[in-house]
Structures are given as structure tokens and as C-alpha cells.
Amino acid sequence: MTTRTLREFLADPAGDGKPAARELATLIEAISDSCRTISYLVSRGALAGVLGSAGTGNVQGEEQKQLDILANDELMAMAKASGVVAAAASEEEDEARPITEGSPYLLLFDPLDGSSNIDVNVSIGTIFSVLPARGGEHAFLQPGRNQVAAGYCVYGPQTTLVLTFGSGVVAFTMDPPTGQFVQTGTNIRIPEKTKEFAINMSNMRHWADPVRAYVDECLAGDTGPRGKNFNMRWIASMVADVHRVLTRGGLFMYPWDKREPGKPGKLRLMYEANPMSLLVEQAGGKSFDGNHRILDIQPTSLHQRVSVMLGSKEEVEVLEKKHSAS
């Protein structure tokens, strides 16, 4: 088992003796510091007085929890203190904030993913995406394939940071006595085959036909067309569901459905789908929205939503075939 800390990893991420770009290393360390702080608040829960609603709503019309706001404020303060973020955008804020003019990166984040799980002591997390800063008012509206780094930190039984710079995926577990992030995953690969899927089944009656057909075949088990029994999991924190997919394989879906036909999906392209899609692809998996590779979508607005289906390569391809046949 390697005992490299995150800092040691950043000094030689590719194992070729070359350090990560200095400003990018600064940003990733700063993000990990914020994740440590958020992890501590999460672990103290009611003792820190951080549970429950904040009594406010965000730009998406969702109720904000106290931790959504505390995590957001922590990450915004970190972005400023880091000195390497030109502007930052958050799921919890209406507009992007200019931070340090002339800096190389744009930072985007879902400060607290899985808000409905905060008060019931189930895994939650922070998701982040780093884009190159390019001038102009539409600077943030870059396709996900432009990301120079992406990752998440899951606050579960362990606090685990999972990271990609676009060449493989690595993981670090926080050691509580020291607060250090220690490398515990190298070149993470998603198994290509799986017998596990994740979707909120309560929306079944609203799904599009290809999704319905796919799940019906999974449910038919070993006597159905797939010839194998499937298991199902739904944590309702994307960060925890995707962490399971990265760890042991599986298919994660939050597809478009007929509840609000004009809405492309529930999850957000810039804060959730893009960073998770980069991680999944870098781990050998696939990600699409029913029509396109998610990382190729040209965003038209910061808070844009998207249909998401990602995970084990073979299973995503089964779902892709169902979509192209419909």
C-alpha cells in the first residue's frame, strides 16, 4: 500500500518525476483543505448545529440546507484565498463570481451533493470541476472535455477524495488523526461488465421508452434477454452512487423523464454531470445523455440540467443501442 500524501502525489502525479502545474497543485490542495473542513462539520452534525434547513431557496428553486450554504461559503473563501481562481460558479449561487483577475482557472462546484441525506446521516459529498480561464462573458460555457481537473470528496464511513487531471483516476483517504489525504487508489478502473444498476425506481412510470426497456430487461433476470440477475442500489447522493460505480462497477442513471418534459433532466451539467463524466471516462467507463457524449455538450447556461447515464462500458453500450433504435 502506497503511503503518499496528496501533496507528495502532486509533486509527481504521472510518476515521471515532473510535478503538476504549480497553480493547479495549489488549487487541488486548497480544495482538499476545504473538504477536510466540510468533512469535520459533517462528522459533528447536530453537535456543530449544522443540520436542518437554512430556510432559503437557491436559483434552481430548491430548499437550501445549512450545510449547502456552509460548504458553499467555505469553497468560495478557499477559491479567493488560493489566488489561482479567476472566477467561481456554484450550484447554490445565481451567478458566477469574479475572484482573482488574470488567474488561470475557473472553478465550478456542487458544494454539498445529496442534500436530502444530510439529516439522516447517509453519505454526501462535494463535486468540483476546473476549466481553463478564457476571456469573455461566456467563459464558463465550455464543454466538459475542456476540464483540466475534476473530482469529488465523499463524506461517508471514510472521507475519500477522488481526482483526475484527464489521465487516469486516483483516490485519497483522509486519515482522521492527522487530517492528511493519503493515496489509497491508483489508476482506478471501472469493471466493464456489471450486474448492478442505480436509478430512482419511483419515477418508472415517467421514463422514456429506452430506459424503461433497459430496466425491464434487468428486472427480468436470468430468464430474460440479458440472461443474468441484476442488483439495484439508489443512495440518492450522486457522489456516493458514482463512487460505488467507480469502485465496483455499475450503471448510474438520472435520465430525462416526463414529469417536466421541458426540463432536460434533474442533474446539473456543469457541477455534476461533467466532472463525474470525466472521472468515469478516465476510469474506462462511458457517459451519455441519451443522444450525446456528455463531455461534448456545448453548454448554453451555467445552471443547465442534463439527462445522465454513466458507468460500466458494456452496460452503457446496451443502453446506447436502445436509444439509437428508438
Closest-by-Cβ residue to Mn ion is: 113
The least distance separating ligand AHG from the CB of residue 94, rounded to whole angstroms, comes to 15
**254 contacts ligand AHG (rule: CB under 6 A):** yes
Query: Based on CB atoms, which residue is closest to ligand AHG, 9 or 272?
Result: 272
The least distance separating Mn ion from the CB of residue 38, rounded to whole angstroms, comes to 12
Question: Using N-to-C axis directions, what is the helix angle for 274-282 and 238-248, rounded to 10°?
Answer: 10
Q: Which does 155 bind (CB under 5 to 8 A by kind): ligand AHG, Mn ion, none?
A: none
C-beta separation of 251 from 198 below 8 A: yes
The least distance separating Mn ion from the CB of residue 72, rounded to whole angstroms, comes to 9
C-beta separation of 155 from 288 below 8 A: no
**Closest listed residue to residue 159, CA positions, set 170, 178, 174:** 174
Angstrom distance (rounded) from CA 272 to CA 275? 6
3-class SS of residue 146 = helix
Query: Based on CB atoms, which residue is closest to Mn ion, 230 or 252?
Result: 252
**236 contacts ligand AHG (rule: CB under 6 A):** yes
The least distance separating Mn ion from the CB of residue 52, rounded to whole angstroms, comes to 16
List Cα–Cα distances, 295 to 25, 88, 288, in angstroms: 23, 20, 8
Torsion of CA 54, 160, 11, 177, to 10 degrees: 90
C-beta separation of 162 from 156 below 8 A: no
**237 contacts ligand AHG (rule: CB under 6 A):** yes
Query: Which residues fall within 8 angstroms of residue 118, CB to CB, at 6 or more apart?
Result: 42, 51, 65, 67, 112, 124
How many other CB atoms are found less than 10 A from the CB of residue 203? 15
**56 contacts ligand AHG (rule: CB under 6 A):** no
The least distance separating ligand AHG from the CB of residue 77, rounded to whole angstroms, comes to 20
**34 contacts ligand AHG (rule: CB under 6 A):** no
**113 contacts ligand AHG (rule: CB under 6 A):** yes
Query: Based on CB atoms, which residue is closest to ligand AHG, 9 or 197?
Result: 197
The least distance separating Mn ion from the CB of residue 169, rounded to whole angstroms, comes to 20
3-class SS of residue 255 = coil
**155 contacts ligand AHG (rule: CB under 6 A):** no
3-class SS of residue 284 = coil
Class of residue 298 by CB neighbours under 10 A (exposed 0-12, middle 13-18, buried 19+) = exposed
Task: Write the binding mask 64 to 103 for ligand AHG: x where contact by CB under 6 A, - elsewhere.
Answer: ---------------------------x------------
Region from 36-44, 45-53, 111-119, 189-197 binding ligand AHG, contact rule CB under 6 A: 111-119
Residues that bind ligand AHG (CB under 6 A): 62, 91, 110, 113-116, 200, 236-238, 254, 266
